[in-house]
């Protein structure tokens, strides 16, 4: 890859980021409107609405890298808005995720592996259902808000900012709950909380596919899995199924990952043809203690 090609791959775009965000929000607006209007068969829409909500995580992930938009303020705004929607404060997640990139799939140092996956079917099912996610994120929010964060990947100088962010999040969540009670409405339950819980298992399976079952080696071409999937999944996941490509060069923006894939495709060693295959491989590895 020459210098000119590298510069083209690293070129960020507000327009492309905003178009992708508009598409994601438009889909959410459609499903949400049909649910709110109680259109015929509306309960069925809770699941796709929830998947769209849960997969906003992929935008948060990109935003902490500063890649979905050219403008820094757009990346910050997206991170904060989406982080609030999925209960994941971006300041904390940025430190967590950067440590993951520095120590990808290293059992001793990657924070994603700090809590090993259960080797029991029941424990793994609880993880996939999102139970461990909600418990962990809820605890993290309250610990951070109390100013008691001691995560090894968070520098002491950043803990004050994490505390302020967590307090703002908790204040806004409490305000949203109080306003709902005052107005006597269950809109937040049907349009946000319940769908987000329903969509979480699909995000958990998607995330399991990224590294679970890959070798515990420092080689990004071996410790990460790229999953070949359809355009709809790539759209909702902001092209992150090209996950080896993302780890090899994390500053490549989402809209350039397909082009980067064409450069790397002959070097990929861990891939899956579709998420059912990726999920089977990841679940099998987890149950065998090879996560």
Regarding pTM above 0.85, the answer is: yes
Tens of pLDDT, residue by residue, the chain (291 residues)? 667 788 999 999 999 999 999 999 999 999 999 999 999 999 999 999 999 999 999 999 999 999 999 999 999 999 999 999 999 999 999 999 999 999 999 999 999 999 889 899 999 999 999 999 999 999 999 999 999 999 999 999 999 999 999 999 999 999 999 999 999 999 999 999 999 999 999 999 999 999 999 999 999 999 999 999 999 999 999 999 999 999 999 999 999 999 999 999 999 999 999 999 999 999 999 999 888
- Domain residue extents for the chain: 3-287
Residue listed under structure tokens 């099912």: 125
Does residue 80 contact residue 72 with C-beta atoms inside 8 Å? no
**pLDDT score for 149:** 96
SS3 of the chain? CCHHHHHHHCCCCHHHHHHHHHHHHHHHHHHHHHHHCCCCCHHHHHHHHHHHHHCCHHHHHHHHHCCCCCCHHHHHHHHHHHHHHCCCCHHHHHHHHHHHHHCCCCCCCCHHHCCCCCCCHHHHHHHHHCHHHHHHHHHHHHHHHCCCCCCCCCCHHHHHHHHHHHHHHHHHHHHHHHHHHHHCCCHHHHHHHHHHHHHHHHHHHHHHHHHCCCCCCCCCCCCCCEEECCHHHHHHCCCCCCHHHHHHCCCCCHHHHHHHHHHHHHHCCCEEECHHHHHHHHHHHHHCCCC
pLDDT tens column, 148-174: 999 999 999 999 999 999 999 999 999
Over the stretch 72-97, which tens digit does the pLDDT of each residue have? 999 999 999 999 999 999 999 999 99
């Amino acid at each position: 890859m020459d210098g000119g090609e590298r510069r083209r791959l690293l070129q960020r775009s507000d327009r492309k980021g905003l178009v992708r965000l508009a598409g994601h929000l438009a889909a959410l607006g459609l499903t949400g409107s049909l649910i709110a209007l109680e259109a015929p068969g509306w309960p069925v829409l809770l699941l796709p609405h929830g998947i769209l909500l849960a997969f906003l995580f992929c935008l948060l992930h990109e935003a902490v890298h500063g890649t979905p938009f050219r403008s820094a303020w757009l990346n910050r705004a997206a991170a904060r808005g989406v982080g609030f929607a999925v209960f994941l404060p971006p300041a904390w997640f940025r430190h967590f995720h950067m440590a993951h990139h520095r120590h990808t799939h290293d059992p001793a140092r990657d924070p994603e592996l700090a809590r090993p996956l259960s080797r029991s079917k029941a424990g793994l099912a609880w993880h996939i259902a999102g139970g461990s996610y909600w418990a962990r994120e809820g605890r993290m929010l309250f610990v951070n808000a109390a100013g008691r964060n001691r995560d090894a990947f968070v520098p002491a100088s950043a803990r004050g900012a994490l505390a302020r962010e967590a307090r703002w999040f908790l204040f806004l969540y409490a305000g949203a709950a109080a306003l709902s009670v005052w107005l006597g409405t269950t809109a937040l339950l049907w349009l946000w909380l319940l769908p987000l819980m329903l969509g979480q298992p699909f995000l958990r399976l998607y995330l399991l596919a990224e590294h679970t079952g890959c070798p515990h080696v420092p080689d990004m071409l071996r410790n990460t899995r790229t999953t070949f999937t359809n355009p709809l999944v790539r759209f909702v996941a902001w092209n992150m199924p090209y996950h080896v490509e993302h780890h090899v060069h994390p500053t490549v923006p989402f809209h350039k990952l397909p082009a980067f894939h064409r450069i790397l495709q002959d070097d990929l060693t861990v891939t899956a043809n579709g998420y059912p295959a990726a999920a089977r491989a990841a679940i099998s590895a987890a149950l065998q203690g090879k996560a």
